[in-house]
Amino acid sequence: MIFCPSAISCIFSPKLDQDPLKSGSLGVGFTIDKGVFAKPSSGIKFNGKKIDFPTVEYVVRENKMNGVELLTDLPLGCGFGLSGASALATAFLSEKPAVELFDLAHVAEVVNLTGLGTVTTQTFSGLVIRKSASCPSRAVIERYVWNYELDFISLGSISTSEVLTTRKNISEIGKKWLNEFIKKVSLDNLFRCSKGFAEETGLIEPVRDIIEAVESSGGMASMAMLGKTVFAYKGFEALKEFGKPFKAKIECSGVRKIESFSNTV
């Protein structure tokens, strides 16, 4: 069985090229110790149900697999990078060289417009600054091993493909806030710059009240890209007002083989 960590995207500046290997995004993201488990199967199953999952279907087809069973306790399409994690975990059921599998999962995301930089973040794990918009094998990155525990709550999904195709100014806004974060790589500046990006793009609106509630209680919070999901530091009690939050640590071990499924890796 393969485990791939979930990835939270904080800031991104997309770049699409005719060559998927040259497509990607500049930005900042981090992996957490919750994610996707994959094991061989027939057909494609997600938490026990057969689903239409084009990103994973691409990987299954390219690796000439019969199928895959995917397990997770996180919601799909809500900003946890599960399309990338599912593609990457599926790819690593193959015995091909790792570098080929990282790029394969990236291409699967790009051609289906389910993500651009997620797989690069998951490839390196930890806190990852993506300084080039490309596939993992060509990526220029800075990686930081952080061990913070963060709080999360998710209220639903946002279409990644819709944002990538309709928000024309997002690239320049992403570059601006990426440069602001690079000036000072710290937890508080991550929240400041991530929130600034969400605010300036207008993506923040569905979760603005949640973020403000965390800040009013003395914590820090921002929005996961792309979903109606908030990540926070010292915000668990405030998040309880809006639903059922959970905690997760920043994960720095990356995709790997494991013995069995568990909610904690």
pLDDT at 141 over 60: yes
For the chain, how many residues are written?
265
Chain mean pLDDT for the chain: 95
Q: 264: pLDDT confidence band, cut at 50, 70 and 90?
A: very low
d(CA 38, CA 72): 9
Does residue 140 or residue 166 have the better pLDDT?
140
Task: Write the CA distances from 128 to 84, 85, 223, 265, integer angstroms.
Answer: 15, 15, 17, 20
- State the pLDDT at residue 159: 79
* Residue range 108-138, pLDDT digits in tens: 999 999 999 999 999 999 999 999 999 999 9
* Architecture per CATH, 1-265: 2-Layer Sandwich (3.30)
Residue 225 per-residue DSSP state: B
Please report how the helices 187-201 and 170-183 are oriented relative to each other, as an axis angle in degrees rounded to 10. Answer: 160
- State the pLDDT at residue 254: 95
Amino acid letter, 230: V
Task: Write the CA distances from 15 to 40, 105, 110, integer angstroms.
Answer: 33, 17, 10
- State the pLDDT at residue 261: 63
d(CA 209, CA 215): 10
